Amino acid sequence: MTEKYTLVITVANRVGVLARISGLLSSRGINIESIVGCRTENPDVYQVHLVIRGTPELVQKISKQVQKLIDTIKVVDIPHKKGGPIREFMFAKIPARKDRSEILDIVNMFGAKIVDISPSFLTVDLSGPTRKIDQFMEMMKPFGIREYIRSGQIAVGS
């Protein structure tokens, strides 16, 4: 059975390191469902959170291959079904001429924030578990979502 995993990969902050990781996955025919990368509190260290789907055996083998890269400091694989903290971030641009108050109710209900406003659009940001963002999107569908962008998932081991 394939499951979703977040690989939390801590690497040296160097040119090309992301290419090494993504190349390693693509050479084995594995699709990256989402990827987030950022410097950590230590400027020489970078962290990549990437979501892949696979069997536990495959994910373990991939983790070992990633660990083998010279620039890799640490690899942790977090299965999503375990239900540890996994978060995503989203911007959505919603047309809002007439239904403004109704939209605001939903925005407040979800704890989303208005980050930009114009006569015809509201731009909101929302973070939380993927399911919460999916639900918010579902609720906003009737109003028509003009544009949205999701960050992809980041996870932290429990």
Partner 1 sequence: MMTGAEILIDALKKEGVDIVFGYPGGVVLPVFDVLFKTPEIRVVLTRHEQAAVHAADGYARATGRTGVCLVTSGPGATNTITGLANAKLDSIPIVVISGQVKTAVIGTDAFQEADMAGLTRPICKHSYLVQRVEDLPQVLKNSFYIARSGRPGPVAVDLPADVAQAPLENYAYPEHPDIPSYQPPEKGNANQIRKLAAAVKQASRPVILAGGGIVAAGASAELVRFAEKTNIPVATTLMALGCVPDDHELFLGMPGMHGRVSANYALMECDLLIGMGTRFDDRVTGDLKSFAAGATIAHVDIDPSEIGKILRTQIPIVGDVRSVLADLDKAVAPRPANEWNRIVREWSLVHPLSYVQDPEGEILPQYVIDRVNLQASKDTIIATDVGQHQMWSALFVRHRGPRAFLSSGGMGTMGFGLPAAMGASLGFPDRPVVVITGDGSIQMNIQELPTCTLNRIPVKIVVLNNSCLGMVRQWQELFYDGHYSKTCLKERPECRSVCSGHRPDCPNAFWPDFVRVAEANGMPGFRATRVSEVDEVLCKGFAVDGPALMEFRVKKIENVYPMVPGGKPINVILLGAAR
List interacting residues with partner 1 (CB under 8 A). 11-12, 15-16, 19-20, 23-24, 27, 60-61, 64-65, 67-68, 70-73
Q: Which is nearer to partner 1, 77 or 88 (CB)?
A: 77
The C-alpha angle with vertex 5 and arms to 57 and 63, in degrees rounded to 5, equals: 50
Q: Which is nearer to partner 1, 41 or 138 (CB)?
A: 41
Answer whether 11's CB lies under 8 Å from 21's CB.
yes
Q: What's the closest the beta carbon of residue 154 comes to partner 1, in angstroms?
A: 21
User: How far apart (Å, rounded) are the C-alpha atoms in residues 53 and 36?
Assistant: 16
Q: What's the closest the beta carbon of residue 12 comes to partner 1, in angstroms?
A: 5
Question: What is the sign of the dihedral through the CA atoms of 126, 93, 143 and 145?
Answer: negative
Q: Which is nearer to partner 1, 45 or 106 (CB)?
A: 45
